[in-house]
Amino acid sequence: MSYTPENNRYEEMKYRYAGHSGLQLPELSLGLWHNFGTDADDKVTSDIICKAFDKGITHFDLANNYGPEPGSAEKRFGKIVKHLLSSYRDEMLVSTKAGYLMWPGPYGDFGSRKYIISSCDQSLKRLGLDYVDIFYHHRPDPKTPLEETMGALAQLVRQGKALYVGISNYHAADALRAKKILDELGCPCILNQVRYSILDRWTEDDHLLDAMDNQIGMICFSPLAQGLLTSRYLDGTIPSGSRASQNRFLKSDKITPEMVVMLNQLNAIARKRGQTLSEMAISWLLKDARVTSVLIGASSVAQLEDNLQAVGNSRPFTKDELAEIDRLTK
């Protein structure tokens, strides 16, 4: 199997700077959380990655524990890069993370220097890469001094194992502390990756975007609220094979009559805008210039292309639209 990317791959995608850095990310990045693990199909996953690259998605986001099984998404992505995309490595941003449980014992979890450095070394082996473009600490560690964790991130940059560093799931106070420590180490923090959607507004309550003040970029995961902000649940049923049917990351009891009514009201706003509900959900995040990128997942090329419509089929929100969305969801 061979692959030659589209010549026009940078013509439609838009790019934004990550904080005060010189690094630009596509408005849509591809996350490899669920659909690239051990049991995934080789051709389907290769087609998704290549189609994403064809459409200007240069950023591919992983973590040490992505799969399932943990580590398997990195292995799969590494093979795809080796066989299809190795010639284009300098056009790609590859990110990974450490912070959740990866191996037994006291050194395989959270945020110690021991864990961070070891995990990065393991990730590079699985990916088959000499470096990653962005290495994140995946979650705050309440028992390890933040200076130790941030010092480990800075060490990875000094060693050439990562070009940039970021944090993930950090609230405003800890994000500012992390930034200050990294600044003092001469290793700026460029991104905070957080869960954010129309239905999940904790970042607003936390005043996270205001606290980062464009100095740290924001990259949002779960923009479709685990599938709630799609057409799947508008009729009130739970389709076979959906996340709600599996009761894993979206529980079936979340699909209440009240939720279905609200989703249909949001869908009505989207239709008036000439968008699907999922397109509007992504556009709603991208309306804020402080959001650097939105992470989308995909289990098929068709699903990827649906999400890509949000870049080409968007227009500014009116004050009335934003007020109605807030009324429904806040």
pLDDT in tens, the chain (330 residues): 789 999 999 999 999 999 999 999 999 999 999 899 999 999 999 999 999 999 999 999 999 999 999 999 999 999 999 999 999 999 999 999 999 999 999 999 999 999 999 999 999 999 999 999 999 999 999 999 999 999 999 999 999 999 999 999 999 999 999 999 999 999 999 999 999 999 999 999 999 999 999 899 999 999 999 999 999 999 878 666 665 555 566 767 788 999 999 999 999 999 999 999 999 999 999 999 999 999 999 999 999 999 998 887 778 999 999 999 999 998
> What are residue 135's DSSP bridge partners?
96, 165
- As given in the structure block, the two tokens for residue 89 are 């490595």
Alpha carbons 325 and 155: distance in angstroms, whole number: 44
* Tokens 């999922």 belong to residue: 278
302, with CB counted inside 10 A (0-12, 13-18, 19+), is exposed
Q: CA 138 to CA 99: how far, in whole Å? A: 5
Burial class (CB in 10 A: 0-12, 13-18, 19+), 1: exposed
pTM value is: 0.95
User: What pLDDT digit, counting tens, does each position of 182-230 carry?
Assistant: 999 999 999 999 999 999 999 999 999 999 998 999 999 999 999 999 9
Q: In total, how many domains does the chain have?
A: 1
- CATH code of 304's domain: 3.20.20.100
Query: Can you give the pLDDT at residue 313?
Result: 75
Is 34 within the bounds of a domain? yes
Tracing tokens 């685990």 back to the chain, one arrives at: 226
- Residue 215 in any domain: the answer is yes
Task: Find tokens 């961070």 and name the residue.
Answer: 116
225: left (phi over 0), alpha (psi -120 to 50) or beta: left
| pLDDT given at position 58 | 98
Residue 212 in domain: yes
- Give pLDDT, residue 197: 98
Pairing mode, if any, of strands 15-17 and 24-26? antiparallel
Residue 169 located in a structural domain: yes
Which tokens in the block code for residue 83?
A: 């066989």
Residue 108 lies in a domain: yes
- Tell whether 139 is covered by a domain: yes
Report pLDDT for 247. 55
C-alpha 191/C-alpha 163 separation (Å) is 13
In a domain, 262, yes or no: no
The residues, any chain, with a CB within 8 Å of residue 205's CB and separated by 6 or more, are: none
CA angle 123, 126, 130 (to 5 degrees): 70
pLDDT at 237: 80
**In the numeric block, which tokens belong to residue 82?**
């080796």
How far, in Å, CA of 321 to CA of 301, rounded? 31
Contact between 122 and 64 (Cβ < 8 Å) = yes
248 CB-near residues (< 8 Å, 6+ apart): none
Residue span of the structural domain in which 137 resides: 15-236+278-315
3-state class (DSSP) for residue 292:
strand
Tell the residue number behind the tokens 């995961």, with chain if given.
221
Token pair 């130790």 is found at 148
Across the strands, what pairs with 164? 134
Asked if residue 330 belongs to a domain, the reply is no
The helix or strand, by DSSP H or E, that contains position 178, with its residue range, turns out to be helix 172-184
Within its chain, how far is the Cα of 45 from the centroid? 17
Strand partners, 140: none
Neighbour-count burial of 258, counting CB atoms closer than 10 A to its CB (0-12 exposed, 13-18 middle, 19+ buried): exposed
Please report the pLDDT score of residue 245 as a whole number. 52
